[in-house]
Structure 1
Amino acid sequence: MRRFACVGALALAGCTVGPNFERPKPAAPAAYGTEPQDVTSRTYAGEVDTAWWKSFGDPELTALVDRLGKQNLDLQSAAERIGQARAQRTIAASLGLPHAGGRATYTHERESANGTASLVEPAPGAPLEFDLYQPQVQASWELDLFGKVRRAVEAASARTQAEIEARNGIALSAVAELAQDYLMLRQLQAQDAVLRDNLAAARRRVGLTRDRFASGVATTLDVAQAEAQATEIAQSLPSLRNQEAAMENAVAFLLAEPPRALADELGRPAAQPPVPPAVPVGLPGELMRRRPDIRQAEAELHAATADTGVAVANFFPSISLGGNFGTESLHTGTIFDWASRAFMLGPTVNIPFFQGGQLKGTLALRKSQQRAAAIAYQQAVLRGWHDVDNALTGYAEAQHERDNAAATVAAERRALAAAEDQYASGVATQLDVISAQGALFQAEDGVVRAQAQVEIRLVTLYKALGGGWSYAATTP
């Protein structure tokens, strides 16, 4: 029915055959799953913060993100791919426009007296050998009667949008990776501080134990145990320093900086940034407009639909208008005389009667690619909902783990105090004190790790929500 309607419209401006793209409307859940409310940082159905890294209240992190959009090499490569896609669109659009050019030829020729020249009686005195001058202006224009070019331009525009969304996805991954590396660095620095505090306490205990030994209260075993604990704690420092340097370099790499370029800037320890008391997560139905991977899948589906239209248009005749105008002369003196003019003008009609199954095969291929793109879009949407749901649960449970770790630290501090009192009164041994000190150290280290996990899980949640790529957004 569509094709017959198009044929009736040819007298006007042609038509566009093939399927028209319609934006998918997947049935989204009404809300995300209910998460525990007994946490200090709750989620709610508000508008997602597109500059979420500022919610940590860390000026250094904000400054690093500001530099990321300008310096990251992956973003620069993605920008080049966008430029290439736009150039492809320009090429596709040019096929629907008139083409014009000029040429000038000179040839020195000789006709054979026994060839085709013998079939025609030459003019009196006409030589068989001569010079021929032919300057011409040529023009052609293929009429886009069935929308083949328009569909090709539509597909190229959709692919350009897909590249833009791909860059947005890279921007989202880059800012999330930067934030996670930065938070991990602050975690390592906090672990370093805990370790040093415990090392100082262990060394003080060594001194006290030696004093007690000199007084005849402690034994050589007590001294050895205290010294062993201090040495064991000190052995962890090089590993932490190595990890800190690696995280500094990871941030530098994202900013296209050489190794150790940020050592002075990031090497100064800073507190682990807190998470905000409330985190807006939007609604599931809004996710398709935020996540770059879903937006990219939609653009790719649009391009595949337009490609199907191109394949349909190939079944219809194509009409080209062409011609040339110029002069033709045997002498340079008369090359621009009006009598030397020569021209050609007329249409060319190409009708695809038989192509050996190529057109049918191409159409079947394009339809299959369109269906595959639709499936990929559905998968992207479903993956997005799952990512958010998993991230919501992970964020809530990470806060529970942190609270439990904090409670463990409080209990271990009481245990250490009791062990020290009992050791002073002779009820407990030095090993009991060392064991309690080691347990406290592990608990304090666990709090630092748990706090970092809360922060990193929040970054994962924001990444799943698709917020945070606009800092490096590119307009179509």
Structure 2
Amino acid sequence: MKFGAALLGFACLTACTVGPDYHVPKEALALNPGAQMSFVNASDTSLSGEPLPDHWWRLYNDLRLESFVQEGLAANRDLGAAEQNLARAVYAVYEAKSAQLPQTELSGEVGISTPPLPRASGLPLSGVYSLGGSVSLPLDLAGGIRREVEVAKYNEQASLAVRDEVRTTVAAAITRNYIAACSANQTLASARRVLDIETQTLHATERLKSGGRATAFDVTRAHAAVDTSAAAIPPIISQRNAAVFALTALLGRLPVDYPRDVQECSTPPHLLAVVPVGDGQQLIRRRPDIREAERKLASATASIGVETATLYPSVSLGGSIGMSGPISAFSKQSQIAVSVGPLVTWTFPNIATARARIAEAGAGARAAEKNFDSVVLDALRDTEISLDAYVQEIQHNLSVHAARDSAADANDQAWRLFRYGRTDFLNVLSAQENLASAESALAASNTTLIDKQVSVFVALGGGWQEDSGSVSRSGNTSINQPATSDLASQ
């Protein structure tokens, strides 16, 4: 009776979960008001403070792009590996939870019994057996198992964030290469247009030479311009094909199965509205790398409790039953033993090792906190850089577009003046060279502009959710939704 009362008192004293409970640190940069406000570049008219919608690539309203992204997300090998790493983390949660369940053990033994030495003459050897079974239920009075489950859950959520980051990377790479292929075709069309103009000039110059209004030197220079423009076409085709084959790999296809329709895509997709960017608070809650760092901080904090629990006794409630006797008299002359009661184990007095591990876990948590702050800073920096680069490229594109229009007008004017004898042929060639350069610059700027749009979406963290939300087996977070984070409640 006294032992039972003592055990009950001990349970009351230790029936808790040792170690610190996790909360986002109050001094974390993620909670700083300056980190959660609007972006510095968000005031530009090309950007919107509206939240980034799910499936950002759909802002381009391109059915072919949508099809490629969905195919890539289903077949990409890197994403498949990330999915399996997530599955492994889910099963690690099951393993941690199973430690809270009753543990059973069965045993059996058969042997030969010999008489006491010196052995009496004529006494035979006899077979004996023993059977037993036990069951035990850990009480987890110090909460070590519960902390282990927390660690596993937080690691699962970190793996989910990693999976989401791979998804964002795959979707962005597919979008980039699809747009690069279409943009290369657009550049190719522009180069061929310039080549056609210069070819027409060459033929006109040859006719003028026949009429005595142009020299052989003029024809040679016209030939040189045509050859130069023709030489620029194969590299453009090579760039397009490289983008097509890169897209093919991202889709999980063999090169022989490359999407042939992309080779005919003549116009890259364009946004139908300004880019929605949201604010810093939404970025911090959404970006996968921030979510991963925050979940790793939570896991490191829970690990302190795991190590602290080793300072306390491990108590289980259990029972066992066993029977033994000679095989010849199985179940007749058996000795049956039954025991029920608590089982207490403790590593005391080896406390130094446990305290060293607690200190080690604490240092790991502090390092994870610093890493969390670093990831937040990097995310905000990357986003501001991407937004600024996009805004500046818009201005650059407008200027390049105006320069191309001016070069086209100058080319027409130079040719008309030459036909009426008011300028020499060198000015015609110079105007055509300026037009070719302006066309090339505009095509490059158009490609860069869309690429920087994609960089903005990547910096913002993808901004997506799955269409359906199946719940992971651990019951902790949805496999198809962003990992649960304490940031969401701040």
In the TM superposition, residue 9 of structure 1 has moved relative to its aligned partner by 7.6
In the TM superposition, residue 270 of structure 1 has moved relative to its aligned partner by 2.5
In the TM superposition, residue 375 of structure 1 has moved relative to its aligned partner by 0.9
* 2:129 paired residue number: 133
* 1:277 paired residue number: 273
Amino acid at match of 1:91: E
| 2:145 is equivalent to residue 149 of structure 1 | yes
| 2:436 is equivalent to residue 452 of structure 1 | no
Please report the TM-score for the alignment, with normalisation by the length of structure 1: 0.90
- Write the deviation string for residues 320-366 of structure 1: whole angstroms up to 9, x where unpaired: 3444313212124x323485423344433223323273112111110
User: Counterpart of 2:320 in 1: which secondary structure?
Assistant: strand
* 2:396 paired residue number: 401
* 2:33 paired residue number: 28
Q: Which runs of 4+ in 1 moved over 6 A?
A: none
CA distance in 1, matches of 2:203, 2:217: 14
Question: Kindly tell me: are residues 109 and 225 of structure 1, through their superposed partners in 2, closer, same or farther at Cα, counting changes over 3 Å?
Answer: farther
Amino acid at match of 1:317: P
Aligned residues: 458
CA contact (8 A) 2:466 2:480 kept: no
- Correspondence 1:148-227 to 2 at 5 A: 148-227=144-223
CA distance in 1, matches of 2:367, 2:310: 22
In the TM superposition, residue 404 of structure 1 has moved relative to its aligned partner by 0.3
CA distance in 2, matches of 1:293, 1:464: 11
Deviates more, 1:43-52 or 1:295-304: 43-52
CA distance in 1, matches of 2:94, 2:330: 38
CA contact (8 A) 1:53 1:62 kept: yes
CA distance in 2, matches of 1:36, 1:225: 50
- Correspondence 1:434-453 to 2 at 5 A: 434-453=429-448
Q: Give the gaps of 5 or more residues in structure 1.
A: 1-6
User: Counterpart of 1:470 in 2: which secondary structure?
Assistant: coil
- Write the deviation string for residues 231-262 of structure 1: whole angstroms up to 9, x where unpaired: 11111222111111110011111111111423
CA distance in 2, matches of 1:35, 1:292: 22
User: Counterpart of 1:101 in 2: which secondary structure?
Assistant: strand
Question: Kindly tell me: are residues 126 and 185 of structure 1, through their superposed partners in 2, closer, same or farther at Cα, counting changes over 3 Å?
Answer: farther
In the TM superposition, residue 13 of structure 1 has moved relative to its aligned partner by 8.6
Amino acid at match of 1:149: I
CA distance in 2, matches of 1:176, 1:429: 50
In the TM superposition, residue 432 of structure 1 has moved relative to its aligned partner by 2.1
CA distance in 1, matches of 2:268, 2:98: 56
Amino acid at match of 1:32: F
CA contact (8 A) 1:419 1:432 kept: yes
CA contact (8 A) 1:132 1:331 kept: yes
* 2:320 paired residue number: 324
Amino acid at match of 1:307: S
| 2:344 is equivalent to residue 349 of structure 1 | yes
| 2:108 is equivalent to residue 104 of structure 1 | yes
CA contact (8 A) 2:324 2:334 kept: no
User: Counterpart of 1:347 in 2: which secondary structure?
Assistant: strand
* 1:3 paired residue number: none
* 1:298 paired residue number: 294
* 1:48 paired residue number: 52
In the TM superposition, residue 167 of structure 1 has moved relative to its aligned partner by 0.2
Question: Quick one: percent identity of the two aligned structures?
Answer: 26
User: Counterpart of 1:270 in 2: which secondary structure?
Assistant: coil
| 2:231 is equivalent to residue 235 of structure 1 | yes
RMSD: 2.4
CA contact (8 A) 2:159 2:292 kept: yes
- Write the deviation string for residues 271-290 of structure 1: whole angstroms up to 9, x where unpaired: 12222332221121222211
| Of 46, 58, 64, the match for 1:60 | 64
CA distance in 2, matches of 1:35, 1:444: 31
CA contact (8 A) 2:53 2:464 kept: no
In the TM superposition, residue 50 of structure 1 has moved relative to its aligned partner by 1.7
CA distance in 2, matches of 1:372, 1:106: 55
CA distance in 1, matches of 2:401, 2:141: 73
In the TM superposition, residue 204 of structure 1 has moved relative to its aligned partner by 1.5
Question: Kindly tell me: are residues 471 and 459 of structure 1, through their superposed partners in 2, closer, same or farther at Cα, counting changes over 3 Å?
Answer: farther
Question: Kindly tell me: are residues 215 and 131 of structure 1, through their superposed partners in 2, closer, same or farther at Cα, counting changes over 3 Å?
Answer: same
CA contact (8 A) 2:315 2:342 kept: yes
Amino acid at match of 1:75: L
CA distance in 2, matches of 1:18, 1:127: 63
CA contact (8 A) 1:28 1:284 kept: no
CA distance in 2, matches of 1:242, 1:414: 31
In the TM superposition, residue 168 of structure 1 has moved relative to its aligned partner by 0.5
Question: Kindly tell me: are residues 350 and 36 of structure 1, through their superposed partners in 2, closer, same or farther at Cα, counting changes over 3 Å?
Answer: closer
Question: Kindly tell me: are residues 327 and 378 of structure 1, through their superposed partners in 2, closer, same or farther at Cα, counting changes over 3 Å?
Answer: same
CA distance in 2, matches of 1:84, 1:112: 56
In the TM superposition, residue 455 of structure 1 has moved relative to its aligned partner by 1.4
User: Counterpart of 2:100 in 1: which secondary structure?
Assistant: coil
- Correspondence 1:114-125 to 2 at 5 A: 114=118
